[in-house]
Amino acid sequence: MTTPLIRSATKRQFLISLGLDPDHGSTQETYWMLKDEATRAYESQLQGRGDLLRPEYANQEPPFAAAHFTAEAFSSVVRSIYQTACPSARRYYDRGRVVQGDNWVISWMLYHVCRYRDGRNIRAARARDFHADDDLDDSHGREIAYNPD
């Protein structure tokens, strides 16, 4: 297990927290694997699902932000991603286990998949460029330095 990150932490902070070097080519492959699993789950279980919204967002039109979904709906998708994960992804998801609450690795990724579809980052939603969804604002979360040990 690793120390959980807040959902708004940057991609760089996320990768470093998983023990990955953000500048190494294999890290990109790992990131895309995790993101693809979260994207498939989002598209099959959350996308356009107004019945899963919190009451205050009942009249919201798609696309929905992660915060629009009920905590149970979001948690259910996080659990589903873990249960259906490929062995390679499960290795990273196991680092995100917490005593109580959602797996922070899957939650972070699913939150960001939602974020790229709710209109806040159109470029990242459409791109297959590893850096297209880099966060330009590193002011969120704690400072983390890469330590390969």
Give CA separation, 12 vs 8, 26, 78, 98, in Å: 11, 14, 21, 21
Structure tokens at 127: 């791109």
Torsion, Cα 125 129 133 134, to 10 degrees, reads: -170
**Cβ atoms 22, 148 nearer than 8 A:** no
7-41 pLDDT, tens digit per residue, is 989 999 999 999 999 999 899 999 999 999 999 99
114 vs 133: CA distance, rounded Å: 12
pLDDT tens by residue, 64-105:
899 999 999 999 999 999 999 999 999 999 999 998 889 999
Please state, as a whole number, how many other Cβ atoms lie within 10 Å of the Cβ of residue 87.
6
Query: Which residues lie closer than 8 Å to 123 by C-beta, 6 or more apart?
Result: 132
Q: What is the pLDDT of residues 109-129, one digit of tens each?
A: 999 999 876 555 555 545 556
Q: Considering only CA atoms, which of 47, 37, 129, 20 is closest in space to residue 87?
A: 37
For residue 130, pLDDT over 80 is answered with: no
Q: pTM for this structure?
A: 0.80
